[in-house]
Structure 1
């Protein structure tokens, strides 16, 4: 696998999706088995494993195992630790450790449009969790370099223990899972307003 170093936003979303599987966000474990792991990663291309995007012919590798799920749960905690780091230096150190799981020396290759692009290659026999760690680590390093440590945030939804990395241009993201936490907050605010009007 070649991890592009210039486009960190996609890898940041992998990190956000992974951290959002935590019971701190969902209220229960969202990675209970290999099928859950495939569902979380199905929008991303991990071609050596059977988790390629739906409809893609890139997959066809080994299906994730229960052991992979356990390792990814552990990785989820490491990714969360990057997002919760107190300083930029700590975030860089932790993300670099993730990137080093299977990262080899960076290479310069042409992208599909013909432009030169830096990539971090991974070993051919790398495990799913090692490739996932490398993708997330490289992407979080890119986020810190481009946008700064302030893009690691806690979810603004009351009662949610989630964290996330905001790779958006505007930098205004407030919720770890906008469709879940944002919706909960909006519904709660709406109900509170209705109660006030009814008084």
Structure 2
């Protein structure tokens, strides 16, 4: 896998999405990655092509716990060190490669024999490092919904994202506010 240095939003998004599949975040729905088919769907939706093994699910659950610690970290140095450790798990160093348009770009390549969890760790780690550098630690946030324990990295241009899953948590708040307004009229 080759990971573009400048595409931190992909890796930060993967980290965010993975953390928010946990049962403690999804209290009502429960564990989103309960079986290998769930993991397959999760990876497919994010454009990660990998052959799954029986051990991958438990290893991805452990990576999810590591990522949650980094998203919750109050110290930006802890985020930088932890994310760098994740990149080192499979990353074999920076290289210069061409993008689809033939332009040069910095990339991190993962070792050809890296297990899935290490490739995901490198992708997420590089995304967290890029977001930390480009956007700052204040973009690492907790979901504003009172009913959610989610966390996320706000990679939006405006930096005003409030919910870990805007379509779910944000929508719930908007519907509740709408109903409350109509009850009082």
| TM score, norm. by length of structure 1 | 0.88
* 2:86 paired residue among 98, 106, 111: 98
Q: What is the Cα deviation at residue 195 of structure 1?
A: 2.4
Which residue is equivalent to 1:131?
Answer: 119
Which residue is equivalent to 2:45?
Answer: 43
| TM score, norm. by length of structure 2 | 0.94
CA displacement 1:55-75 (0-9 Å, x = unmatched): xxxxxxx2x234211110110
Q: What is the Cα deviation at residue 25 of structure 1?
A: 2.4
Query: Does the aligned pair in 2 maintain the 1:33–1:66 contact within 8 Å?
Result: no
Query: Does the aligned pair in 2 maintain the 1:157–1:182 contact within 8 Å?
Result: yes
Q: What is the Cα deviation at residue 179 of structure 1?
A: 0.9
Which residue is equivalent to 1:22?
Answer: 22
The within-5 A match list for 1:128-167 is 128-167=116-155
- SS at the partner of 1:104? strand
2:53 maps to 1:65: yes
Q: Equivalents in 2 of 1:139, 1:124: separation in Å?
A: 20
Query: Does the aligned pair in 2 maintain the 1:14–1:41 contact within 8 Å?
Result: no
CA displacement 1:84-135 (0-9 Å, x = unmatched): 1111111111111111111112101121112111111111111111100000
Which residue is equivalent to 1:116?
Answer: 104
- Consecutive aligned runs of 4 or more in structure 1 exceeding 3 Å deviation: none
* RMSD after superposition: 1.2
- Which ranges in structure 1 are unaligned for 5 or more consecutive residues? 50-61
Q: Equivalents in 1 of 2:80, 2:97: separation in Å?
A: 25
Q: What is the Cα deviation at residue 196 of structure 1?
A: 2.1
Q: Equivalents in 1 of 2:48, 2:113: separation in Å?
A: 13
